[in-house]
Structure 1
């Protein structure tokens, strides 16, 4: 199947989800119609009754004492501020998530709209940046009922361009939330918005910084992040990197080498370092006193010979993940087997590459999601074979594999490998109970597309339990992340809405 046909198939599948409640579902997919009223449950399928609802047994809480991560003063409390939880992009929560004890699963449909990035305001409400065929919308969502409280369009989508709505991450994937309940998303019009979440949940646009003088028309904004001094850094798909002084509006720029693209988020630490991975190399950047960004060090990695099915570009699919005071890790795109690469991120390091650890199956392993930092290890999830929603239709799924890589004094080693199949979930760790959460889809000879929220013991790598969310394409998360709320509830966005899981 050509890439164009694959994209078209995925778009048609999602378009089928957008049918009004009075219409008939597409016969080739057997899909229920999506409710016309936002906030109603994601529709279930008759095949829900043909698969196990719960597999395994509830877990016992075994907290993991992880090295503390410094709180960036320009972000809301860690665990609430970005897709990857904190400035280190650890993807690890201090709270205890679900243990599997009489799990209650609720959902809400928002039509064809997926909230890939979610933060939590000071009142525990969800603040989501949600994308659909029409563009991107910021939403405030009740954390229990999942009903929308308010919404504000941030960036319309131009469907006449060549960008595929299923893979387009320009101006609508990442944002951060600060301690004053103010969100900073990018737009497709090459600007950064300042949007306040008011006490009543209303969203108010407080400002906008246009970057059209600094970002070319054929480029787009991918990610933003504040450093410890409060400067907003921004990164474009074509490798332009800038700092924005939010008081004066002054912008200072640098440019990565020609041909290098940025397709993932970024991390930062208290020493002033900003870490970004391009399709060719891992970087640390710092600023001078005036805020001018510059490359401190650059490490080229093996980007392989192709864009593997499961990746959005040829290169690393990870956001740089920081661990402790010393390490930063990514994956590469090597043939035949991808590696977890762990580097010494300090400015004066001489032997920067600490280890190259092969992981996942040869010729069938890659990831397009961030690593998870837990204790002295990094966890990687296999996304090989995920080329869009059509990849998991009619009982099909992707290649299994989740692995934990331990960082030793003299290198690294694989502690365990788990055979769960997580097509595209941004997995998360709960340090509060010792569980790793992934969104999984086992293969099915009967053609049933069953999606599960799965808990894995971080210490042993053994699956503790899996809970069915639903069957059918409407339950596909399509690269959306798992989140844990301040009360320990788990959330996962799907192509049709949002799912919440919490112990009774």
Structure 2
């Protein structure tokens, strides 16, 4: 067997063995020590590892996003950066100046990356058998401490199941609040050198065995949670659990958002909701259905919106601010923007803009809030991380990213720019408002790879790149090879920017770091 196939197979076997394991207990955690790089598939040496040019800093206006009183600082608290789920950073990211790439291998996907008050990484790494909360040095990627979470039941693993730790948040006291596979919400303290359990909320009676998709606090400190089966609930300050079910058949596949007015905004496979607390219980303030299409499109994990709701404008602005999602319409999905105040979203959306080609449009990632609009990406065609043929490469996805200009006051929208070349299989892309760059993670087709010499598609490796795009124009600025092989597939994980401008991408192999040379 060729070396590149052996390297690929070793990772695939490690994942597959865990999927079919008879025992369902947590994985053993190695003692903290130096980072071991993720295995690479040979072939990367045939490619130029950097294309484009270093970026010129062009800052964009930074909106006033309220700081949530029970979450870590904006940009450091959760997978989508803040309580509004903007996916927009006020800090800079790498500019492509002699960009250095390092990685650490866990054979688990370290998707959500947060940063404690000392700038260290707090992340949950999810594997087919369970999940581990890790405290990691942001420079060396050395593990400082780990906390094993309860294992998942045998046979329940799926590459499109994000429950049990795929989403978590860091609170205002450097504590990780993470859901488990057995219906608990754990609060784990970062003590500086260890991770210690300080609180355990048992919500299993409310969840009924369904996976907890996400948990986040409201502005009063109640801990809200949603399950895949459509349960919406919270743990109040006294520790009591209050919950309700959505309508029959509605499920929840993503996280949610909240604002300072007490609104909690949830999208199901059928409708967009605003919840508030009334008489001590979760109450549906309004519900707006959307076009959920006729099927689960390739690249999506459910038949419905693939987006966590994005909030725009403070709650005391006109209409209570705005909220944005995509639908799942045929033959093209739409970006939708509505009012979000208690009075309701109104008869018509502020914006309904079709995006991406007919019959080849899907978005399983949150919309990115930029000044005057939103950025969406096309994930159509992602069929999972495993190879689709003897080449060892996963399937090519449909290309596309767009910026939608939105008039939030009067209504109306249009496409400001489109990039029809970027292939972004699943990344939660992010924008840096400090430098004006959109950061994404691309998987070019064999013919599109940056070959050093003549293209040799038959030898094309499974290659993944951190790619920076001018957020104003949609033009690609630079692209840096992250690595080759299954271990570098991000499988719905985001790119995250640290407080010092370093970028991180969680992958099936572990965690990859990108930093400009000192």
TM-score (normalizing by structure 1): 0.90
Pick the aligned partner of 1:257 from 217, 240, 247: 247
Pick the aligned partner of 2:234 from 234, 239, 243: 243
324 and 19 in structure 1: CA distance in 2 versus 1, 3 angstrom threshold: closer
CA-to-aligned-CA distance 1:307-352 (integer Å, 9 cap, x gap): 0010111000000001113211000100000100111111225335
CA distance in 1, matches of 2:268, 2:233: 15
Does the Cα contact within 8 Å between 2:104 and 2:511 map onto a contact in 1? yes
CA distance in 2, matches of 1:227, 1:352: 28
Does the Cα contact within 8 Å between 1:116 and 1:493 map onto a contact in 2? yes
- 4+ residue stretches of structure 1 with deviation over 6 A? none
Pick the aligned partner of 2:199 from 207, 219, 224: 207
Q: In the alignment, is residue 282 of structure 1 matched against residue 272 of structure 2?
A: yes
Partner of 2:292: 303
Partner of 1:369: 365
Does the Cα contact within 8 Å between 1:51 and 1:450 map onto a contact in 2? no
Query: How far does residue 164 in structure 1 lie from its aligned partner after superposition?
Result: 3.3
Pick the aligned partner of 2:137 from 130, 138, 142: 142
CA distance in 1, matches of 2:431, 2:481: 19
Query: How far does residue 42 in structure 1 lie from its aligned partner after superposition?
Result: 1.4
Q: In the alignment, is residue 175 of structure 1 matched against residue 175 of structure 2?
A: no
Query: How far does residue 239 in structure 1 lie from its aligned partner after superposition?
Result: 1.0
Does the Cα contact within 8 Å between 1:243 and 1:291 map onto a contact in 2? no
Q: In the alignment, is residue 128 of structure 1 matched against residue 123 of structure 2?
A: yes
CA distance in 2, matches of 1:395, 1:214: 39
Secondary structure, aligned partner of 1:425 = coil
What CA RMSD, in Å, does the superposition of the two structures yield over aligned residues? 1.9
Partner of 1:332: 327
Secondary structure, aligned partner of 2:169 = strand
CA distance in 2, matches of 1:491, 1:281: 33
Partner of 2:306: 317
TM-score (normalizing by structure 2): 0.88
Secondary structure, aligned partner of 2:350 = strand
Pick the aligned partner of 1:431 from 430, 433, 436: 433
CA distance in 2, matches of 1:450, 1:192: 37
Secondary structure, aligned partner of 2:441 = strand
Q: Map residues 13-162 of structure 1 onto 2, 5 A cutoff.
A: 14-16=11-13, 39-110=35-106, 112-159=107-154, 161=155
Partner of 1:406: 405
Query: How far does residue 375 in structure 1 lie from its aligned partner after superposition?
Result: 0.8
Query: How far does residue 38 in structure 1 lie from its aligned partner after superposition?
Result: 7.1
Secondary structure, aligned partner of 1:390 = coil
CA distance in 1, matches of 2:85, 2:47: 35
Does the Cα contact within 8 Å between 2:42 and 2:461 map onto a contact in 1? no
Query: How far does residue 165 in structure 1 lie from its aligned partner after superposition?
Result: 3.1
Query: How far does residue 18 in structure 1 lie from its aligned partner after superposition?
Result: 6.0
Query: How far does residue 66 in structure 1 lie from its aligned partner after superposition?
Result: 2.7
Query: How far does residue 270 in structure 1 lie from its aligned partner after superposition?
Result: 0.7
Q: In the alignment, is residue 397 of structure 1 matched against residue 389 of structure 2?
A: no
CA-to-aligned-CA distance 1:141-172 (integer Å, 9 cap, x gap): 1100111111111130222x3x3332222222
Pick the aligned partner of 2:351 from 355, 363, 372: 355
CA distance in 2, matches of 1:494, 1:214: 32
Moved more, 342-351 or 370-379: 342-351
Pick the aligned partner of 1:345 from 340, 356, 364: 340
Secondary structure, aligned partner of 2:67 = coil
CA distance in 2, matches of 1:16, 1:437: 31
CA distance in 2, matches of 1:452, 1:384: 18
CA distance in 1, matches of 2:174, 2:348: 38
13 and 423 in structure 1: CA distance in 2 versus 1, 3 angstrom threshold: farther
CA distance in 2, matches of 1:41, 1:222: 30
Does the Cα contact within 8 Å between 1:236 and 1:262 map onto a contact in 2? yes
**Gapped regions of structure 2 (runs ≥ 5):** 1-7, 18-31, 315-320, 447-456
CA-to-aligned-CA distance 1:97-124 (integer Å, 9 cap, x gap): 01111111111111x2111111111111
Partner of 2:191: 198
CA distance in 1, matches of 2:232, 2:354: 31
Pick the aligned partner of 2:281 from 269, 287, 292: 292
Does the Cα contact within 8 Å between 1:155 and 1:172 map onto a contact in 2? no
74 and 83 in structure 1: CA distance in 2 versus 1, 3 angstrom threshold: same
CA-to-aligned-CA distance 1:418-448 (integer Å, 9 cap, x gap): 1200111110000010000000010003332
**Gapped regions of structure 1 (runs ≥ 5):** 1-10, 21-35
Partner of 1:8: none
Does the Cα contact within 8 Å between 2:131 and 2:148 map onto a contact in 1? yes
Pick the aligned partner of 1:477 from 490, 498, 508: 490
Does the Cα contact within 8 Å between 1:13 and 1:390 map onto a contact in 2? no
CA distance in 1, matches of 2:127, 2:276: 35
CA distance in 1, matches of 2:328, 2:11: 29
Query: How far does residue 249 in structure 1 lie from its aligned partner after superposition?
Result: 1.0
CA-to-aligned-CA distance 1:396-433 (integer Å, 9 cap, x gap): 42110011111123311111111200111110000010
Secondary structure, aligned partner of 1:474 = helix
Does the Cα contact within 8 Å between 2:33 and 2:142 map onto a contact in 1? no
CA-to-aligned-CA distance 1:167-191 (integer Å, 9 cap, x gap): 2222221111111111110111111
Secondary structure, aligned partner of 2:45 = helix
